Amino acid sequence: MPAWPIALACCLLPTLVVFTCYGISISLDQVPRCVPFFEGCTSISAASRQLPSLHLFRAVMLPTTALLLAYWLIARTWLGLLGARGPARAWMTSLGIIGAIFLVLYAVFLGTDGPAYELMRRYGVTVYFAFTALAQILLSAQLQRLPGHLPDVGRRLPAIKVGFGAAMLVIGLINIPAANFFDADPVENVVEWNFALLMQGYFGLTALAWYRGGLTIALQRG
């Protein structure tokens, strides 16, 4: 079977479910209406933590974890087929898998009360975002260093992926001084929404690369 639908699902499923949950929460007057990418009136968590949005969020995010695990394992093999060598592939895969596991922690404890639950939720979302972004940056770096030309993928696509990784890094760094000089919540919310959009878009770029390259995976009966 082709590998690109897995990467595309990693891109589209989280994006669509967050926008859907936000729309539901707005319709029920649970969160304010705005353009969160610029105004930061609410966070992704706030848009999804109340019922009935919470049930939809968990129903989509938990299976998405399995897709992310498959994505990073396929990406590791893909880089090997393209000629990538060294420990970076193992680091990339480990960071991606850990990030996916912490997405489960975040989804399970979202909407729960109590300081212990809040701590688990915050660790879940922080590690998910940070480790997934780092894994994506490692993937981009390895594509840039591949020997020879990539006729099926081209050089422009890896460069765009590097740009996405750089943009995520810049957005994360901007959040540190901005949160100290402005109202922290809106700034953090704007950073979160834009960071998440770039991170999900990165998976879409991988789907394009796998589609162009004709990458397939073999399913074997155990």
Domain boundaries, the chain: 4-213
Burial code of 59-85, b = ≥16 C-beta within 10 A, e = fewer? ebbeebbebbebbbebbbebbeebebe
**Amino acid making up residue 178:** A
Give pLDDT, residue 150: 57
Residue where the block lists tokens 């993928």: 153
Give pLDDT, residue 117: 60
Question: Tens place of pLDDT for every residue, the chain, 222 residues?
Answer: 899 999 999 999 999 999 999 999 999 999 999 999 999 899 998 999 999 999 999 999 999 999 999 999 999 999 998 888 889 999 999 999 999 999 998 988 888 777 766 776 777 888 999 899 999 999 988 888 876 555 555 556 767 777 777 777 777 666 656 555 555 578 888 888 998 998 999 999 999 989 988 899 887 665
Residues 22/31, Cβ–Cβ less than 8 Å: yes
Give pLDDT, residue 109: 86
For helices 53-82 and 4-27, the axis angle rounded to 10 degrees is 160
Give pLDDT, residue 222: 53
Give pLDDT, residue 12: 97
**How far from chain centre, in Å, is Cα 167?**
14
Give pLDDT, residue 48: 92
Pick from 31, 45, 9: nearest CA to 193: 45
Give pLDDT, residue 191: 85
For helices 115-144 and 53-82, the axis angle rounded to 10 degrees is 30
Give pLDDT, residue 50: 92
Question: What is the residue-wise DSSP string for the chain?
Answer: -BSHHHHHHHHHHHHHHHHHHHHHHHHTTSS--S-TTTS--S-HHHHHSSTTHHHHHHHHHHHHHHHHHHHHHHHHHHHHHHT--STHHHHHHHHHHHHHHHHHHHHHHTT--SHHHHHHHHHHHHHHHHHHHHHHHHHHHHHHT-SS--TTT-SHHHHHHHHHHHHHHHHHHHHHHHHHHS-HHHHHHHHHHHHHHHHHHHHHHHHHHHHHHT-B------
Tell me the CA end-to-end span of the chain in Å, nearest whole number.
17
Give pLDDT, residue 145: 82
